[in-house]
Amino acid sequence: MTASEVAPPRRVLHAEWSALAALFALTVRQHTHGRRLLVLALLYLIPCALAVLLRGVSRAPADALEFALVLTLLPHGLAPLTALLYAAGVVSDEVEEQTLTYLLLRSVPRWELYLTKLLATLCVTVVLVSTAVLALYAAIYAGTPEFWSVALPRAGVVIGVMALAQFGYCALFGFLGLVTRRSLVGGIAYIVSVEGVLANLDFVGRSLTVVYYVRTLALRWLDLPAEQLRQCQESWGMTEMEKLPSSGSCVLIVLGVGAVVAAVSALRFARSEFHVKTPGSD
């Protein structure tokens, strides 16, 4: 019998979906039972403790704390770092743990395996960042009249914006984890130089950063008081609102670029060869 006479294996969709659901659950469990979660929990506790301390000792105003911790530290540092720690290891973690071979032996297209693990990673990082947002707003506004009427509604908007940002970050760092073994070093360099420095330069290049769209959506959606809005605009160099992209454009750009990067990563994963050994092999 020649190769042309051999019928290709038929895809059984219900079995394929069952395997992908199991992979999704397994990836979530891997992400929530490791040292990275403890490290991130400690990192998230630091700004919360700082907010409580500053409120109690120096009577720092809530709007100043919100700007420094929620609108600056979170999107510039904690959120992208969370995505980096998890998304960069979507494939490399499986290689290091010598479990990638078992995934590749399944009768499921490789690109589906990658996208399933990336989706699970995105869900975990969104939950973590959302928890951090709620904890920060509680630390800043708890016990004030604005907690229920201002802080919680604003926290909901920030969670939506940060979830969008996580989509872009996870897609980007997932790709980075495929193209280099030093993804953590490269990711940190990207966070510092691009999201940290480039986003603060008032020229067209900052439109290449995720933070630029996060800031634009924050200015348009948060309904900040006039003084707080002016502070954000001046600090970010975004004083001319008419020159900023619309809310819809921000959402479409981040989702579109993230989807393209995720698709390219999935195709690269499908066509790449991974030289790994199963446990117990020579």
Q: Which amino acid is at 156?
A: G
Would the pLDDT of 144 be above 50? yes
Residue 5 confidence (pLDDT): 45
- The model's pTM: 0.90
Residue 71 confidence (pLDDT): 93
Would the pLDDT of 7 be above 60? no
Q: What percent of the chain has pLDDT over 90?
A: 65
Residue 95 confidence (pLDDT): 78
**pLDDT (mean) for 159-169:** 97
Would the pLDDT of 104 be above 80? no
8 Å CB contact between 265 and 114: yes
The C-alpha torsion from 34 through 39 and 40 to 44, rounded to 10°, is 150
**pLDDT (mean) for 101-109:** 78
Where residue 143 falls (left for φ over 0; alpha for ψ -120 to 50; beta otherwise) is: left
